[in-house]
């Protein structure tokens, strides 16, 4: 069934010298029987055996199995042949010391993708006479017992051919007899090919002997030409599953703790910084805006900032003089009723006249601007007035927020001085305040005619103001903080009646903002954003802002800068950790070359080895990946908290989204594959025989 025809094997040594290990060998094996390959050391016995076992390829000539030449075998066929047809027994046993007897035998089955059954293994151990040793460790066995385990491991696969390379080379005479007896018994059922240099044993046991000397065979053999009955078909068994391969790699893990920790640390740092960068990319402006509005029960109306520039080469300036036009357009296209907000930057500076008293009062009353309103609009907003609606152009409404500030810290002008506690609404209504017009340098006198309740609820901001007090006890700090929170909202301007601004400050007022109604759904916010995009062009620009922080864009710009640094940092670290993984694997694999060869001879496929020996890197990456998920989440959490405290953003700006997890996973996968492929492939590409040989010699 197995024919060797004109087989020559030439090895190339490292110095490019050629060694002819086999020279034109012709031979034929039957389906059963005891065959010995006899010869002195170096005569080519192992070489021939490796060729028969499909562990190596001949330089020329053919090995024919049931009429089909190995040279026609695809890789898959050869794997199947090794995996299911051949049971290989080595001189040095080549058992796995870290597994016990049971597991060593079971491994051969697992390599066929089968689950080992206890009875099956007991039966085979019984057959080789060591059923009582089933749970022994390998290093607790004698040489003869070890070889029996090796034979059991070959038999469990139920092979067609049993191949043994000097199986008794390391054993004493008595044990040698026993092993030969055992093999002899098996040769009734199997084709048994045994390599030996002991002529006595060969003559005593073998029915056929192939004498080798310096790669040549002594007696010529005429090959039969009779047609072959197709006795043996290749069985394509499944192979070791990826999971089992990884598990096996894990039990083999012998990496030092320091190396492991270092590797995980570096890889975690690399993954974390990359993950962090990715997360910074995935913030959603609309979600932040909406989330923030929601957190504050939609008290912070959206504002629209307007910018203009005369031509494209100049920088953007805040402000527009046709604000009313865009206000009308927005109303027409989105049904949203915005109001022009003339802020203190464009109109003037407000203060309470008290000439040389403390400056604190000035900052206490520092309205963000002026809004012109009519009573209908106030009704629409559900705002209520104590006092009266402005009847003349110099009358103003102040908001409840400012009234509360006065109540807390007192009120003072040329006519009246009220301490905290003395302030009442009645006393405040009718008081004069001043506004200095920045452009005309004039001082305008205005009269408070009423207090507008804008239904401001400071509860959501409580934490922020508390923090401020704890850190710094100065009043100014507190009021500034709140003022910032309220920047651009309807809670902090002063209100005048229609056309009063032009009357007080002249007709050509520039305004930089539109201040709007409360929008209670995300979709409308999006509609507005989209509309403003269509209205923006190369000279006019409209940006949506929300009350909580005018600074969101600056923050995000800064973060984007951090992000690019982090990306470079992460990239460099990534290269380092790939290199570290790479050298780690190289080291491991160099030390396990022989083991890989043995597994190969036992029927492991290239794929199995790939997973067994890259498991180390896979575990390291896996653990690092999990760690970096945690690190990223913590980092982002800290970041959000920081933004909340320092920038008054009440919602999480950054999220560790599914997409980030996924992309990070892909990065980890790719980098691990890069790190493992080269070292592992280098070994897999080597023929199994070469790998085993290195150690056996
Ligand atoms: P045996 O098993 O009979 O002792 P081998 O088959 O191992 O002999 O070796 C036959 C010859 O081929 C020897 O001269 C050996 O040095 C040489 N040889 C075996 N393997 C290699 C190899 N991988 N590279 C170079 N030479 C080899
Ligand atoms: Mg040999």
Which tens digits make up the pLDDT trace of 364-413? 456 667 888 899 988 888 899 999 999 999 999 998 888 887 887 778 77
Q: For residues 30 and 693, give the distance between their C-alpha atoms in angstroms, rounded to a whole number.
A: 28
How far lies 6's CA from each of 66, 178, 217, in Å?
17, 35, 11
Token readout for 656 is 């560790």
- The sign of the torsion formed by the CA atoms of 485, 487, 488, 489 equals positive
Q: Pick the closest to residue 201 from 176, 170, 175 (CA basis).
A: 176
Determine the pLDDT at residue 276: 84
Q: From start to end of 280-439, where are the E strands?
A: 302-308, 317-318, 339-343, 348-351, 369-373, 384-387, 395-399, 411-412, 417-418, 432-437
Token reading at 527: 């509609």
Ligand 1 mutation target, pool 19, 43, 52, 688, most atoms within 8 A of CB: 19
Please, how many CA atoms are within 13 Å of residue 308, restricted to the half-sphere of its CB? 11
Given this model, what pLDDT does residue 457 score? Answer: 78
Does residue 45 have its Cβ closer than 6 Å to ligand 1? yes
Minimal CA–CA distance to 556: which of 299, 288, 290?
288
Dihedral, CA of residue 650, residue 651, residue 653 and residue 659, to nearest 10: 170
Q: Is the dihedral of CA 603, 606, 607, 612 positive or negative?
A: positive
Q: How far from chain centre, in Å, is Cα 413?
A: 63
What pLDDT was estimated at residue 347?
55
Of all protein residues, the one whose alpha carbon is nearest to atom 21 of ligand 1 is 11
The radius of gyration of the chain from alpha carbons, rounded to an integer in Å, stands at: 44
Question: Cα–Cα distances in Å, from 615 out to 57, 225, 246, 587, 691?
Answer: 29, 49, 5, 14, 20
Question: Which helix (H) or strand (E) element contains residue 660?
Answer: helix 658-685
Which residues are within 8 A (CB) of 545 and not within 5 positions of it... i.e. 6 or more apart? 302, 303, 304, 305, 488, 552
Q: By the 8 A CB rule, do 323 and 404 touch?
A: no
Q: Is the CB of 19 under 6 A from ligand 1?
A: yes
Q: Is any atom of ligand 1 closer than 6 Å to the C-beta of 694? A: no
Q: What pLDDT score was predicted for residue 623?
A: 92
d(CA 301, CA 552): 15
Q: What is the pLDDT of residue 604?
A: 82
Find out whether the beta carbon of 492 lies less than 6 Å from any atom of ligand 1: no
Give 227's DSSP letter: P
Tokens 């010995």 sit at which residue?
36
The tokens 């290990």 sit on which residue?
21
H helical segments located in 400-521 = 400-409, 425-428, 462-471, 475-485, 500-505
| pLDDT value for 696 | 40
Contact by Cβ (8 Å): 543, 631: no
Place of tokens 């065979």: 217
How far is residue 696 from each of residues 96, 237, 306, 598, 686, measured CA to CA in Å? Answer: 15, 29, 81, 11, 16
Pocket flag, ligand 1, residue 11 (CB < 6 Å): yes
| Span between the terminal Cα atoms of the chain, in Å | 31
CA distance 329 to 323: 10
Q: How big is the CA angle at 541 (ends 540 and 542), to the nearest 5 degrees? A: 130
CB 179: neighbour CB atoms within 10 A? Answer: 24
Q: Which atom of ligand 1 is nearest to the CA of 43?
A: 3
Q: What pLDDT was estimated at residue 313?
A: 85
CA of residue 127 to ligand 2 center, whole Å:
27
Q: Are 141 and 119 in contact (CB under 8 A)?
A: no
3-state secondary structure of 360: helix
- State the burial class of residue 220 (Cβ atoms within 10 Å of its Cβ: 0-12, 13-18, 19+): exposed
Does domain 2-239 correspond to CATH entry 3.40.50.300? yes
SS3 content of the chain, % helix, strand, coil (to 5): 50, 20, 30
Residue ranges of the chain whose pLDDT lies below 70 = 225-233, 250-255, 298-301, 343-368, 436-442, 461-488, 507-509, 546-553, 646-650, 683-684, 686-697
Identify the helix (H) or strand (E) that includes residue 209.
strand 208-213
Residue burial 20-29, b: 16+ Cβ < 10 Å; e: rest: ebbbebbbbb
Q: Looking at ligand 1, which atom is closest to the CA of residue 48?
A: 6
Cα 226 to averaged position of ligand 1 atoms, centre (Å): 33
Q: Which two tokens stand for residue 611?
A: 């997973």
Tally the C-alpha atoms within 13 A of residue 302's C-alpha that lie toward its C-beta.
Answer: 28
Domain boundary assignment for the chain: 2-239, 257-285+556-692, 297-547
Q: How far apart are CA 427 and CA 654, in angstroms?
A: 47
DSSP character for 224? Answer: P
Q: CA–CA separation, 494 vs 432, rounded Å? A: 13
> Which of 9, 11, 49, 199 is the pocket-test mutation for ligand 1 (most atoms within 8 Å of CB)?
11
Query: For 256-368, where are the E strands, in sequence order?
Result: 302-308, 317-318, 339-343, 348-351
> Is the distance from the beta carbon of residue 224 to the nearest atom of ligand 1 less than 6 Å?
no
Specify the DSSP class assigned to residue 337. -
Q: Which residue's alpha carbon is nearest to atom 6 within ligand 1?
A: 44
Asked if 697 and 605 count as a contact pair (C-beta separation under 8 A), the reply is no
- Residue 510 to residue 346: CA distance in whole angstroms: 6
Decide: 46 in ligand 1 pocket, CB within 6 A.
yes
pLDDT at 550: 56
CA of 52 to the centre of ligand 2 (A): 14
Residue whose CA lies nearest to ligand 1 atom number 7:
46
Q: Which of 217, 102, 94 is nearest to 166 (CA)?
A: 94
Q: Ligand 1 within 6 A of 16 CB?
A: no
| Separation CA 492–CA 483 (nearest Å) | 8
Q: Mention every residue, 6+ apart, whose C-beta is less than 8 A from residue 155.
A: 87, 124, 127, 128, 162, 186
Question: Residue 620 CA to chain centroid, in angstroms?
Answer: 13
The full length of the chain comes to 697
CA angle 541, 542, 547 (to 5 degrees): 145
pLDDT value of residue 618: 86
Rounded Cα–Cα distance for residues 83 and 600 (Å):
9
State residue 356 phi and psi, 5-degree precision.
-105, 15
SS3 137: strand
Strand duo 348-351 + 417-418: pairing: unpaired
- What is the structure's pLDDT at 548? 52
């Amino acid at each position: 069934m197995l024919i060797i025809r004109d087989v020559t094997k030439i090895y190339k040594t490292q110095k490019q010298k050629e060694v002819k290990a086999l020279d034109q060998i012709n031979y034929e094996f039957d389906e059963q029987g005891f065959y010995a390959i006899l010869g002195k050391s170096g005569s080519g016995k192992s070489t021939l055996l490796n060729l028969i076992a499909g562990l190596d390829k001949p330089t020329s000539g053919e090995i024919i199995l049931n009429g089909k030449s190995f040279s026609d075998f695809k890789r898959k066929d050869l794997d199947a042949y090794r995996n299911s047809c051949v049971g290989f027994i080595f001189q040095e046993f080549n058992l796995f010391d870290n597994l016990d007897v049971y597991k060593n035998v079971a491994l051969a089955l697992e390599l066929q993708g089968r689950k080992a059954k206890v009875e099956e293994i007991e039966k085979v151990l019984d057959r080789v006479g060591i059923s009582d040793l089933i749970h022994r460790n390998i290093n607790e066995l004698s040489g003869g017992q070890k070889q029996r385990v090796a034979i059991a491991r070959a038999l469990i696969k139920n092979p067609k051919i049993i191949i043994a390379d000097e199986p008794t080379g390391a054993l004493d005479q008595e044990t040698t007899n026993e092993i030969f007896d055992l093999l002899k018994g098996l040769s009734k059922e199997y084709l048994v090919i045994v390599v030996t240099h002991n002529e006595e044993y060969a003559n005593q046991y073998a029915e056929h002997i192939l004498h080798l000397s310096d790669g040549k065979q002594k007696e010529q053999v005429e090959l039969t030409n009779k047609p072959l009955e197709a006795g043996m078909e290749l069985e394509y068994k499944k192979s070791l599953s990826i999971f089992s391969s990884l598990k096996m790699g894990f039990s083999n893990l012998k990496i030092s703790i320091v190396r492991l920790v270092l590797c995980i640390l570096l890889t975690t740092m690399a993954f974390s910084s990359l993950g962090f960068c990715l997360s910074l990319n995935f913030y959603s402006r609309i979600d932040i805006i909406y989330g923030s509005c929601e957190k504050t029960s939609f008290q912070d109306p959206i504002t629209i900032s307007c910018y203009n520039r005369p031509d494209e080469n100049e920088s953007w300036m805040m402000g527009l003089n046709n604000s009313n036009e865009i206000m009308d357009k927005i109303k027409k296209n989105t049904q949203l009723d915005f109001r022009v907000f003339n802020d203190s930057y464009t109109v003037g500076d407000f203060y309470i006249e008290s000439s040389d008293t403390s400056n604190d009062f000035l900052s206490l009353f520092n309205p963000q601007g002026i809004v012109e309103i009519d009573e209908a609009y106030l009704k629409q907003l559900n705002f209520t007035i104590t006092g009266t609606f402005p009847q003349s152009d110099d009358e103003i409404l102040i908001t409840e927020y400012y009234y509360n500030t006065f109540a807390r810290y007192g009120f003072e002008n040329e006519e009246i001085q009220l301490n905290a506690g003395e302030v009442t609404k009645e006393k405040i209504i009718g008081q004069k305040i001043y506004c200095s017009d920045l452009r005309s340098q004039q001082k305008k006198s205005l009269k408070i005619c009423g207090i507008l309740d804008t239904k401001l609820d400071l509860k959501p901001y409580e934490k922020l103001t508390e923090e401020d007090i704890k850190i710094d006890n100065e009043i100014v700090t507190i009021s500034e903080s709140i003022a910032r929170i309220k920047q651009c909202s309807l809670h902090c301007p002063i209100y005048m009646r229609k056309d009063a601004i032009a009357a007080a400050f002249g007709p050509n007022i520039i305004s930089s903002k539109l201040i709007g109604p409360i929008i209670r759904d995300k979709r409308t916010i999006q509609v507005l954003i989209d509309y403003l995009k269509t209205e923006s062009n190369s000279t006019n620009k409209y940006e949506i802002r929300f009350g909580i922080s005018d600074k969101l864009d600056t923050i995000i710009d800064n973060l984007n800068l951090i992000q690019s640094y982090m990306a470079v940092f992460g990239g460099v670290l990534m290269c380092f950790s790939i290199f570290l993984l790479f050298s780690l694997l190289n080291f491991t694999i160099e030390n396990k070359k022989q083991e890989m060869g043995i597994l190969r001879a036992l029927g492991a496929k290239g794929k199995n080895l790939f997973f067994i020996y890259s498991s180390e890197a896979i575990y390291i990456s896996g653990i690092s990946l999990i760690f970096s998920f945690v690190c990223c989440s913590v980092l982002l959490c800290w970041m959000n908290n920081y933004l909340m405290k320092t920038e008054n953003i009440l919602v999480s700006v950054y999220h560790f989204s599914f997409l980030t997890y996924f992309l990070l996973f892909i990065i980890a996968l790719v980098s691990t594959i890069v790190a493992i492929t080269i070292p592992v492939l280098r070994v897999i590409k080597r023929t199994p025989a070469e790998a085993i040989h290195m150690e056996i010699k």
